[in-house]
A = this chain, B = another copy of it.
Amino acid sequence: MVRIGIDVGGTGIQMGVVDPEGRILQKGGIVTRTDLPFPEQVAQMAACAKDTLQRSGHTLEELESIGAGVPGVADYRTGVIPFCTNLGWHNVPFREEFQKHFAKPIYIDNDATVAGLAESVAGVSAGTSSSVFITLGTGVGGGIVIGGRVWSGAHGVGSEIGHMTLELDGEPCTCGNRGCLERYCSATAIIRMAREQLQKHPDSLIMTLCDGDPARVEAKTVFDAAREGDPTALKVFRRFISCLAQAINSITALLDPEIFVLGGGVSKAGSFLLDAVRAEVPRYALYKMLPLPRIELARLGADAGIIGAAMLQ
């Protein structure tokens, strides 16, 4: 038996035929067409899925299910997607529409949740029964696995790690609240903190690396300068690590998973990030003598979306 996993993105839709161990047997993809009506978008996805299945050499009879990860809120119970802003979807009946093309079980969930599931099936957290996946990108997303199964909450809006409160009355967030975790633990946060510091320390290596234009600072610029020992970059880096460690401690206090998996663009900093986080987290441990969750980097990269979507059930 095989499954199809669909990674729905704002610019492209990637999919793959996946075996029960989470190996991608065949890939396919189409460009995202937000200009088309929703039923047309689904028809194009379904056509690509049929084509990819055929190219994999597997039949419709061998297809167990289809799963999709979407960059928004997905109600796994009803198959409805209440919000998916990048795709222009509001309250679209994804499952119902997709089943017009495939008489198979159709599963949906949030893209970060799906990536977390992928890591727990075929990636760094494989073999664990509880994990929290944290995507550190423009924002902060999350995927929770408990008892080997995805937990997306009773209303499909769980694992929105980025919008946990990390500071009462803190930095304003795009969601309308203040002090959300992603204001302190995302690439966006690193850039904001770097720009603030550059006003006081224009002599920082960060400024050199961004050709004297703070508008061009990226998280990577700060990490690169920090690696070189630039004091301003190190200050930003250490603050970021401290905030991330407190966020991890906060999630541990509530959920205490077996393992944390760090993914997303910021995680490309690799061991420079991982070593610093691993060193900082124990400082905030509630019970210093008890074992702490492991912390690892995500392994599956861009394929996680396809693999995890296929594994939904």
Q: Are A249 and B158 in contact (CB under 8 A)?
A: no
Interface status of A247 (Cβ within 8 A of chain B) = yes
- Could you tell me the distance in whole angstroms from the C-beta of A281 to the nearest C-beta in chain B? 12
Name A's interface SS. Answer: loop
Q: Which of B151, B161, B253, B293 contacts A164 (CB 8 A)?
A: B253
Stoichiometry (number of copies): 2
For the complex, give the distance between the alpha carbons of A255 and B153 in Å.
5
Return the CB mask of A259-302 against B: 1 if under 8 Å, else 0.
00000000000000000000000001011011111000000000
Interface status of A129 (Cβ within 8 A of chain B) = yes
Total interface residues on A, CB under 8 Å, equals 55
Residues on B with beta carbons closer than 8 Å to the beta carbon of A246: 165, 168, 177, 179
Residues on B with beta carbons closer than 8 Å to the beta carbon of A175: 286
Interface status of A40 (Cβ within 8 A of chain B) = no
Q: Which residue of B lies closest to A180 (CB)?
A: B253
Q: Which of B151, B179, B286, B292 contacts A146 (CB 8 A)?
A: B151
Interface status of A119 (Cβ within 8 A of chain B) = no
Q: Are B154 and A168 in contact (CB under 8 A)?
A: no
Interface status of A258 (Cβ within 8 A of chain B) = yes
